[in-house]
Structure 1
């Protein structure tokens, strides 16, 4: 069970999602306590041990994707795994019920807008604001366009599950289904084609709106980078779209279809945004979007006869938001096979992929311990007795050894990972889908998701080269291991997954995996909202120097005659 001893060390790490750098090792320092302090530290010995774990792959079935805080849309070619295409089904909603549009109404234009996550990084020529986009992959100075088709959907997205006597919320899944027996058909999703954008341009440029002729145009508004599609009644090729929205909304004035929320949701069941690679290119881009924000909407601009000024026209708007229910659909065309895991013996590689991809399970102190004289003890019980003295009830009584730090270190398989690997992974209690105690205690930078929880969930350390290949992730689980010793906590299986935002796991429950059995399986939400993937050395890697172990740094008390340093 015990493998070797190492010098004590610790990693200091920092990270933002746009700039990554390799963290540097530093000497390990024990925390002072009533037992160990400057006067007494010389009476104790400090050492470390590595313990075997079992780690195995868990390829995912379809996963629940409705009501995510963020949604993916587009085409992503992962250098390691292959292509993922993300499309989106959303209900639409309005706060203006039973509207009165006025006399002689004309729909002048329709504008669809969905902002990107971006930030102001300067000014260009004292005229234009320079932006940097955080939410489009792959990252770069420019982005590949995609083909985007917008359909009216006729499938009714219900709130509650009829198979559970309407006592639970309805889940919708990444494979276009509401359950293993209920698929959402293409005829419903693609009921009416509203428009087909053969090449949707994705840009980090500021959008400037003007009024007046080109020679003396006045800037009326500056917008951050976003999807912004405009259909105008004076543009002949937009006639079909203008006609669609005129009939769908404007012509419904006075009818029951717009009179209340229930009627509206049944009449207009939503929009389906279907993403595909652009026909002229085999590449694409994938956007991470927040459709719940107020700026994400469809705005109908219309004019009507002024009720107060004869021969004058007034203008107004009708706003549609993307709510309340939104569902992501994923189509994977993987070039790297994700194997079914060996839960008994462990796997040599761990395949982690976001979206409808793959997780990994980890067992600490699993199996029988052949070196222990008490054959009734399993590995976990034998390990506890090395570190603490237990009473007759198996509860903590006193220390033998003091744990200073415990880590799981995951090495990237640099021979298989071709780049674009995630900077963050999420380690969690797989038995009940909640964070570990170390997550809760690590409050560093928790208000900034890109820098959050760095002590527990170590940020990817990279080579100091232009290529910046990933080296390893260091996950500190000191509090979790101490809880196993002192609190008689259950030695549960752990899970490891790719994470798009580690902060989400503090408040958002995990989402359901569609297993087709009574056994419930869940997926971390932050793993669903990222397409990135990586391959790690597992517990059975042929490279022992990169094999996954649990490494524990501890201090020997003089009373522990079995301690290696005594």
Structure 2
């Protein structure tokens, strides 16, 4: 499993950047326990352990339109199964109503940049790039794997609003692919085997020198991206023919006429998934245009014309949908379909996209006992120093998250715990103003949920809920069910709808955090009902740890 040891280095690095720490206080006591896990406890603090019931639930199809990050390709994870991601987007003119006379398209190409980082200068003026970094990974699987790509003209109109929805909001879901595929227009605009190449894109043009010789010359260099040349004649007819150019008057008319591009992938050999920067994608059209000149004639063969070179640009902007075709493993399907809501599951499967989440309930009887012994029932002298939920990763190499890189098991960097009943963050999230300027994925560092390797080799996600517990034990807050999901961006707390809601007790779960939908990764954790197996696995069961201080006598 990758993504597990890097966080150790961040403890020191956090002081090297501009970091703002916001530490919650309990009355006049402001000492926060330092990363307390497994008995690392200050001498003046005592520890209580609260059992929890944790089990997983499948989310089914999820809302997947207009996300800031979209997937394209095939991701094959031995723990969960295979996901094929296709994508559809609207296209708009960069400048509306271009002036046209008698245009003839010479070339037209699509370019969608990848998220890459310039590494060093190469030969012949080229730049050498690499894929992201430890915290920002945008390609999964074999980066050199070939896949078949078809790009169609989309014929399904992607609406801005839904008059039938109570909030007028248009929602499309991750399994709505047939809706688009059934309405593609004609044959593909492009079809071929391709790769997510890390080489910079070079755009050549034929240049005539002073000696009259014609040579190919690099006229533009771009960072690595999906670069596709379309048929000029087809686009000349589609956009610039006398019959169709009236559709270029404005983008409202144009989007109804040309309803966008649909990207469909098919695995050929090894799987590969990328997260291209679709929002920065463009279609660039190079053309010759012939303007009539003033010559005393207005028609006929003697009409003089002047040659104009033009470039017309279209942007991949507007409404989008990311489709997820999942072929999940039997073990995963069985686990999320047979949850033990009474004792909890022995393993928790968390999967982004149209995957799964976990439901976590804190033991009511124990919480009520603590209210009387260290909470409001005992007065205000006991100080709640820290409370953590610690989730341990099942790092088994055979059917867990462990093993060598060839298993292609990549763990998510972060988990997000939230109030499932009220569909919002818990107070510890809201009160944590920790920022990490070089990478916002590490914001709210105190709240936690970040993957870490412990001194004993175990891998864990620790989430701090000190104020949440304090408000229950010493205040008037309710012990609500909590939701746990993978997250791509801890700063995004909006929710996306489930196509089919499900019920948890008195809660109807209608949505999941948006940041989990656009994260393709997943992890397998120990749950709350881990049986003894002779190897001590039961010690990995999730539990709530509370550390508190009593007044000195």
TM-score normalised per structure 1: 0.78
Query: Is the alpha carbon distance of 1:153 and 1:333 closer, same or farther for their aligned partners in structure 2, counting shifts above 3 Å?
Result: same
Q: How far does residue 91 in structure 1 lie from its aligned partner after superposition?
A: 1.6
Query: Is the alpha carbon distance of 1:486 and 1:446 closer, same or farther for their aligned partners in structure 2, counting shifts above 3 Å?
Result: farther
**Contact 1:389 1:399 survives alignment (8 Å):** yes
Q: How far does residue 156 in structure 1 lie from its aligned partner after superposition?
A: 2.0
Map 1:117-516; keep pairs closer than 5 Å: 117-124=115-122, 127-134=125-132, 135-138=137-140, 142-164=143-165, 167-176=167-176, 184=179, 186-188=181-183, 190-211=184-205, 219-231=218-230, 241-251=231-241, 256-278=246-268, 281=269, 283-293=270-280, 296-306=281-291, 313-335=307-329, 336-338=331-333, 339-340=336-337, 341-366=339-364, 369=365, 379-390=366-377, 398-415=379-396, 416-418=400-402, 419-447=409-437, 448-462=439-453, 471-505=459-493, 509-515=494-500
Q: Following the alignment from structure 1 to structure 2, what is the Cα–Cα distance between the partners of residues 211 and 25?
A: 51
Q: How far does residue 192 in structure 1 lie from its aligned partner after superposition?
A: 2.3
Q: Does residue 551 of the first structure (1) align with residue 538 of the second (2)? A: no
Deviations 1:81-129 (A, max 9, x none): 12100001112222444433222x2111111111111222222358432
Aligned to 1:108: 106
Q: Does residue 535 of the first structure (1) align with residue 524 of the second (2)? A: yes
Q: Following the alignment from structure 2 to structure 1, what is the Cα–Cα distance between the partners of residues 164 and 24?
A: 56
Q: How far does residue 17 in structure 1 lie from its aligned partner after superposition?
A: 7.1
Q: Of residues 524, 540, 565 in structure 1, which corresponds to 2:513?
A: 524
SS in 2 for 1:399: coil
**Contact 1:79 1:420 survives alignment (8 Å):** no
Q: How far does residue 389 in structure 1 lie from its aligned partner after superposition?
A: 2.7
**Contact 2:367 2:473 survives alignment (8 Å):** no
Q: How far does residue 52 in structure 1 lie from its aligned partner after superposition?
A: 0.1
What runs of 5+ residues in structure 1 fail to find an aligned partner?
1-15, 38-43, 178-182, 232-240, 370-378, 391-396, 560-566
Aligned to 1:78: 77
Aligned to 1:8: none
Aligned to 1:236: none
Q: Following the alignment from structure 1 to structure 2, what is the Cα–Cα distance between the partners of residues 363 and 35?
A: 28
Q: Following the alignment from structure 1 to structure 2, what is the Cα–Cα distance between the partners of residues 218 and 89?
A: 34
Q: Following the alignment from structure 1 to structure 2, what is the Cα–Cα distance between the partners of residues 478 and 219?
A: 59
SS in 2 for 1:246: helix
Q: Give the number of aligned pairs.
A: 491
**Contact 1:147 1:277 survives alignment (8 Å):** yes
Q: Following the alignment from structure 1 to structure 2, what is the Cα–Cα distance between the partners of residues 264 and 143?
A: 37
What runs of 5+ residues in structure 2 fail to find an aligned partner?
13-22, 32-42, 208-212, 295-303, 403-408, 532-536
Query: Is the alpha carbon distance of 1:259 and 1:211 closer, same or farther for their aligned partners in structure 2, counting shifts above 3 Å?
Result: closer
Q: How far does residue 315 in structure 1 lie from its aligned partner after superposition?
A: 1.5
Q: Following the alignment from structure 1 to structure 2, what is the Cα–Cα distance between the partners of residues 160 and 252?
A: 32
Q: How far does residue 557 in structure 1 lie from its aligned partner after superposition?
A: 2.7
Query: Is the alpha carbon distance of 1:297 and 1:493 closer, same or farther for their aligned partners in structure 2, counting shifts above 3 Å?
Result: same
Moved more, 261-270 or 340-349: 261-270
Moved more, 118-127 or 414-423: 118-127
Q: How far does residue 206 in structure 1 lie from its aligned partner after superposition?
A: 2.2
Deviations 1:465-517 (A, max 9, x none): 9xxx9711111111222222344122221111112222223xxx110001167
SS in 2 for 1:405: strand
Q: How far does residue 355 in structure 1 lie from its aligned partner after superposition?
A: 0.8
Deviations 1:343-396 (A, max 9, x none): 232111100111111110111233xx3xxxxxxxxx433322222235xxxxxx
**Contact 2:351 2:521 survives alignment (8 Å):** yes
Q: Following the alignment from structure 1 to structure 2, what is the Cα–Cα distance between the partners of residues 159 and 136?
A: 28
Query: Is the alpha carbon distance of 1:247 and 1:290 closer, same or farther for their aligned partners in structure 2, counting shifts above 3 Å?
Result: same
Q: Following the alignment from structure 1 to structure 2, what is the Cα–Cα distance between the partners of residues 31 and 254?
A: 66
Q: How far does residue 547 in structure 1 lie from its aligned partner after superposition?
A: 0.3
Query: Is the alpha carbon distance of 1:276 and 1:139 closer, same or farther for their aligned partners in structure 2, counting shifts above 3 Å?
Result: closer
SS in 1 for 2:148: strand
Deviations 1:1-34 (A, max 9, x none): xxxxxxxxxxxxxxx97982557999xx998974
**Contact 1:252 1:258 survives alignment (8 Å):** no
**Contact 2:3 2:412 survives alignment (8 Å):** no
Q: How far does residue 256 in structure 1 lie from its aligned partner after superposition?
A: 4.7
Moved more, 247-256 or 482-491: 247-256
Q: How far does residue 530 in structure 1 lie from its aligned partner after superposition?
A: 1.8
Aligned to 1:58: 57
SS in 2 for 1:443: coil
**Contact 1:98 1:254 survives alignment (8 Å):** no
**Contact 1:442 1:455 survives alignment (8 Å):** yes
Q: Following the alignment from structure 1 to structure 2, what is the Cα–Cα distance between the partners of residues 216 and 196?
A: 27
Deviations 1:191-234 (A, max 9, x none): 32333433222122222345556998665433111111123xxx
SS in 1 for 2:247: helix
Q: Following the alignment from structure 2 to structure 1, what is the Cα–Cα distance between the partners of residues 223 and 347?
A: 42
**Contact 1:98 1:260 survives alignment (8 Å):** yes
Q: Following the alignment from structure 1 to structure 2, what is the Cα–Cα distance between the partners of residues 496 and 516?
A: 16
TM-score normalised per structure 2: 0.80
